[in-house]
Structure 1
């Protein structure tokens, strides 16, 4: 074991660390050197939006001290940024192990720094945190969640005054404030009179506004005729989605009872990730049993959703995040097209389907593109206050309907996709048929995400080397098509390989590299900001002359994607 790692660990064997923490570290020193190394080889990053990692003792772990240091830093920053005022923070948490106790520790540290705290009484969906922040006129919001990561993970996401996650310059300023601190600087002694517990009043308002934003102009009979299966996959959405659908008029709702109870072990799935087909398997089985029209599953903190619908053979098929986003955006654009004022816009991200731009602009609506992450979409709303945000999303199964919540929101999005399915069913069509019709109208875009898991110290080195190789030795052809444009967001440079011109990218720096070919193929690479993965986003497209040729053309595009994966070693 490296000397510096052992010395770093030994610092945790004395105050300010409590006895349980000291015993945990001593156990690792004596019995588990490999885990000790991973727990102390680095400091877990407070990234530009927060922190996510494995729970346990150590500087590279989620625990009361790493989260306490974050909270102390934010408290100090609030005092500097908003002097001579009563600072207000709202805190929520999800179903993960230790989320409730960690949320109370965070509340204690804030209150110890004379910050007024609103703490949810029990687990709540992440979008409700964004909603409550604005509703309660808070300066900051914290949610304890690790989204769809494995059970051993937890996390700490930070939201700012506008209800969106941290963006520049606040993110870097807060990181600097945190990095100046030592663990002994954390004030843990709470002032309980500054902590208020909140619950049903905010819930009722959130659900009311979710219905207001997600419910559209369709008949009540259409809603009553739609058969829905829903699973929270052991997560927080059980607190909001059944109530939202019921109050909106959906009477034929089946819930996967085996997955209805919040449980941080996620016992019925390999991963509580609605992107994974296995996560929706029980819901699809229930839908087949009851001949339901649509299946919806949400991740543990209820900001993302996965959807399955019936195809032309009446079989349940999963939609990917790009397809869901396109359908939701189409429906919203249809609603707006007779009342456009010219200031509306739709937003998505640089790694999402190019079809979003094509379809939005075909409606005569402005399309804006951001870096990956909903904080950037929320930042557009803040940056352009005179523009009206219709909706938007990203390929990772998240969508935001309007501006009442400034983060991806599976509660309102679930209602919206049910409205779409109910409307189409009432018109003798289906979600699946409409998707193919949109491909026929705007072009057939097919995408695939490949995520390579690279854990630990060596994994981080491999990810860094992979990105370095792609920059140092750029692809010249992809599937026989010449690469004509390379966008490197780390260096903020766009290189046109046809005229050899370079231009500056108008977005913040990020470790993202995108290749474009002469035929519109797009391949993007980026390390995940929340998991030990490097992700590759592949998009290909062609024309679809008629719905009848969908299967044939889909097969051609699938083969093309497989060739691309083989070419670049995926």
Structure 2
């Protein structure tokens, strides 16, 4: 289901955390809508909504995160399953009238925008020793930044601890940008072909989490690339986690 651009509120904007699928950004862009990244957690999406309320050039349209949380409308400031279920029922009714299921609609989206697929792996490392191992993993990525994963060059490195985005050109550090987000112990790598990897320690559990995203022309290709990407990254960190 689509909404005409001229029916949208002024400066309509989609919000999503940095570890969330890029599919929504591509769909929004196709309709002339900007997507802005936040840190992980709906509290950061809520902060952006408050910022928009103080501005006249932006308005909140939709927020979503990788753990199946959605927010439609700004009258709630956290992920809300109630309004999401109502919205999804409306979408299902729209496609039923076109003799399509939601799965049919999703297949059409993948055909148009590519087959996006995401994954999440985590390591539980408890106690003081676990804290040291997590720190060692993060330090290894910072001190020995990857040049490629699964044969795909790293095009952009993002370090949210120092709010720096580095564009990599032919293996050499190129121009840099400031990341306009709160500082956080997070690293993200954007690869050729639209794939990406993000690494962050959990803020509430003794874990370090690894997020993955790929996009390919077929479901089979996406599944294969994701499998290889997970294996390579987790193979790299296995030594550090056992120190």
Instruction: State the TM-score, normalizing by the size of structure 1.
Output: 0.39
Shift of 1:336: 5.2
| More divergent stretch after superposition (487-496 vs 526-535) | 526-535
Whether the 8 Å CA contact 1:450–1:535 is kept in 2: the answer is yes
Q: Does the C-alpha gap of structure 1 residues 410 and 455 become closer, same or farther in structure 2, counting only changes over 3 Å? A: farther
Counterpart of 2:66?
Answer: 395
By percentage of residues, which structure has more strand? 2
Structure 1, unpaired ranges of 5+: 1-330, 544-552
| Alpha-carbon displacement from aligned partner over 1:428-460 (angstroms, at most 9, x marks no partner) | 111111111111222221111112222233222
For these two proteins, the number of residue pairs brought into alignment is 229
- Provide the secondary structure at the position in 2 that maps to 1:367: strand
- Of 159, 167, 180, 1:506 maps to 180
Counterpart of 1:560?
Answer: 225
Counterpart of 1:472?
Answer: 143
Distance 1:401 1:336 in 2: 17
Distance 2:21 2:78 in 1: 19
Distance 2:77 2:234 in 1: 37
Shift of 1:418: 2.5
Larger Rg: 1
- Provide the secondary structure at the position in 1 that maps to 2:119: strand
Whether the 8 Å CA contact 2:125–2:206 is kept in 1: the answer is yes
Structure 1 segments, 4+ long, off by >4 Å, are none
Shift of 1:407: 0.9
- Of 125, 148, 156, 1:485 maps to 156
Whether the 8 Å CA contact 1:345–1:367 is kept in 2: the answer is yes
Instruction: State the TM-score, normalizing by the size of structure 2.
Output: 0.88
Whether the 8 Å CA contact 2:10–2:59 is kept in 1: the answer is no
Shift of 1:364: 0.9
Matches within 5 A, 1:203-214: none
Whether the 8 Å CA contact 1:342–1:365 is kept in 2: the answer is no
Whether the 8 Å CA contact 2:115–2:222 is kept in 1: the answer is no
Higher relative contact order (CA 8 A, sep 6+): 2
Structure 2, unpaired ranges of 5+: 236-243
RMSD: 1.7
Shift of 1:497: 1.4
- Provide the secondary structure at the position in 2 that maps to 1:501: strand
Counterpart of 1:569?
Answer: 234
- Provide the secondary structure at the position in 1 that maps to 2:64: strand
Shift of 1:338: 4.8
Shift of 1:511: 0.9
